Structure 1
Amino acid sequence: MDFVWAILAPVVVLLAVLFAGAAPAALVVCVWRRSVGTRRHSPLTSDLRRPPGYSLTQSLGELDTDLDAMVAMLLATPAALVATMLLWRQSGGAADWRTQVGALLIVAAVAYVFVARRLWGQLTKRRNLIVGLEGERFVGEELNTLMREGCYVFHDVQMDDGSNIDHVVVSPSGVFSVNTKTLGRLAERFKEARMTVDYDQEKMVFPDRVAPLPSGRLKKEAGWLSRELTSATGFTVRVEPMLALPGWFVERKGASTGVFVFNPKTPSKFFILPRTILDAERMGQLAYQLDRMTRDVPRSYQRRGKWPE
């Protein structure tokens, strides 16, 4: 029992020192939050509408928190091991210094391998999230130009299964659900950003790879949105699924299977068609429902409970 305590005592002391150092910072944060919260509040009286890529922004923030913790762990490990060894020797541990150093090096190696592998995977995931976020923002900015032509545009509509529809456009020509897929291209060998959508074989052919056309997913999103809007408005709403490929020149082969793939540059030719399905009144009703579905970004520094009159 004495031997076990001799091993654990330095670790307990080290953890106590670390927590003691963090306590003042936690106290300052708590006092600051209470102080600021009693003086000023947000002037906004409603939540905000979701911007393009909002879900990816949230995921990126959570991932960055994990990365910060892993980097802090890597930086703190050497100091923690040295402090543990010194405290271990000071407490009169039974093992000699060679055994202590060997044991600590083994622990350090295992910890570094575990954290390094996880860090590699998280950094790869972060890169993919950033590329996807930039693509959604780009497509969102292009689609927002449709508002100058009388359309309504919404972003990041949450579905019941926890996923989201990247963009929704309401125009006189109908309602469109838009999914964004941001696919990079090789920098040197394949410089031409040209791809082919083969509707007959349900695939997208790029210069360096072939990807399946996600028709099932796109139709599922459009079907869900159609049911939600039909139920909310009382009239039948048909939603057309679309796939945006930013940065690619799109060629099409075969007959469309109900999913339209396009480059989002100059989007009016894809959303303002020579047909009129929705009048201004119905467009307004649809916009109202979509506004309710996307206006859930909370305000900062707001008073709990009822907003003061």
Structure 2
Amino acid sequence: MNAPTKSPIKDKPLRHPGQSLEEARYKLFEDKLETPLMLAMIFVILTAMEWWRYLWARPPNPYIFTVLTVVLVMFAAWRVWKTRPQVHALKQGAEGEKAVGQFLERLRESGYHVFHDLIGTGFNVDHVLIGPAGVFTIETKTWSKPVRGEAKIVFDGEQLTTVGRVPERNPVVQARAQSSWLKGLLAESTGRNYDVFPVVVFPGWYIEQSNDCLRNIWVLEPKALTKFLANAPQKLEPDEVKLASFHLSRFIRGT
């Protein structure tokens, strides 16, 4: 039996631009469209059944439809039961990305350009920072925390372990692949060679690692990122920051 867990996000993230319009759109569909569309579909099916019986003069036979209804209800219940963990994971992941994204927005005051949710082929990059310390891809992992005990992640430079377990998919490999992809994208679009540094952030977790683990990738709690950036040497001039940001903006608008 799995140990109980909880979300690492303590407070709900701030609202994002356009959220009221999105909520109004979904509410409009639910309140004004969903019910009449479902009723219309049901009555189309019932009407078709009545015409079929009328034209073929067949007596009603509830047994077939009863069997089909039972099968469909059981399938729907099974699908809801199977989908609930995915829905919970997506909701928790979205909350984590919003919280981290809103934290990163503060870095604009320090000369950083911030981008969110870059879409690649079959994957996405949660966040990108371009500023004085360089170009960074940031992967957010909103892992559920244990209800009891220490919420600690141990990083040895290559592999993460949490509560003595190794995750099925290594976020370090994922983050490095994302940084490599962005490096190629910027080289192709700008004609310059930008070093892209991968970062993985875990909201609400304590990260245990040695300084040697920080040479090729940062695995951090989001609040530590500001200190790491402040201590990092300057690698890009303002014109280089603007060039990379301009071309990345064009790519985002084109996807």
Q: One fold, TM greater than 0.5?
A: yes
- The Cα offsets for residues 223-242 of structure 1, whole Å up to 9 and x where unpaired, read as 11111112222221000111
Hey, what does 1:195 align to over in structure 2? 153
Q: SS in structure 1 opposite 2:106?
A: helix
Matching residue within 228, 233, 239 for 1:275 = 233
Alpha-carbon deviation of 1:171? 1.9
Question: AA paired with 2:124?
Answer: N
Hey, what does 2:253 align to over in structure 1? 295
Alpha-carbon deviation of 1:87? 8.3
- For the aligned residues, what is the CA RMSD? 3.7
1:250 and 2:207 are equivalent in the alignment: yes
CA contact (8 A) 1:171 1:271 kept: no
**What TM-score do the two structures reach when normalised by structure 2?**
0.73
User: For residues 280 and 114 of structure 1, do their structure 2 counterparts lie closer, same or farther at Cα, with a shift above 3 Å needed?
Assistant: same
User: For residues 110 and 127 of structure 1, do their structure 2 counterparts lie closer, same or farther at Cα, with a shift above 3 Å needed?
Assistant: same
Hey, what does 1:34 align to over in structure 2? none
Measure, in 1, the Cα distance between the counterparts of 2:65 and 2:227.
Answer: 66
Alpha-carbon deviation of 1:141? 0.9
Hey, what does 2:134 align to over in structure 1? 174
User: For residues 205 and 118 of structure 1, do their structure 2 counterparts lie closer, same or farther at Cα, with a shift above 3 Å needed?
Assistant: same
Measure, in 1, the Cα distance between the counterparts of 2:87 and 2:234.
Answer: 43
For these two proteins, the number of residue pairs brought into alignment is: 225
1:114 and 2:88 are equivalent in the alignment: no
Q: SS in structure 2 opposite 1:168?
A: strand
CA contact (8 A) 2:112 2:131 kept: yes
**Structure number with bigger Rg:** 1
Measure, in 2, the Cα distance between the counterparts of 1:273 and 1:181.
Answer: 24
1:232 and 2:189 are equivalent in the alignment: yes
Gapped runs of 5+ residues in structure 2? 1-15
Greater mean alpha carbon deviation, residues 253-262 or residues 218-227? 253-262
Question: AA paired with 2:170?
Answer: L
Q: Which runs of 4+ in 1 moved over 4 A?
A: 83-92
Measure, in 1, the Cα distance between the counterparts of 2:51 and 2:252.
Answer: 56
CA contact (8 A) 1:156 1:166 kept: yes
- The Cα offsets for residues 131-158 of structure 1, whole Å up to 9 and x where unpaired, read as 1111111111111111111111111122
User: For residues 266 and 142 of structure 1, do their structure 2 counterparts lie closer, same or farther at Cα, with a shift above 3 Å needed?
Assistant: farther
Measure, in 1, the Cα distance between the counterparts of 2:162 and 2:51.
Answer: 59
- The Cα offsets for residues 72-92 of structure 1, whole Å up to 9 and x where unpaired, read as 97xx88xx78x9599859975
Within a 5 Å distance, the mapping from 1:117-128 to structure 2 comes to 117-128=78-89
Identity %: 29
Question: AA paired with 1:164?
Answer: N
CA contact (8 A) 1:245 1:262 kept: yes
Alpha-carbon deviation of 1:215? 2.7
Q: SS in structure 2 opposite 1:258?
A: coil
CA contact (8 A) 2:117 2:126 kept: yes
Within a 5 Å distance, the mapping from 1:124-143 to structure 2 comes to 124-143=85-104
Measure, in 1, the Cα distance between the counterparts of 2:129 and 2:162.
Answer: 27
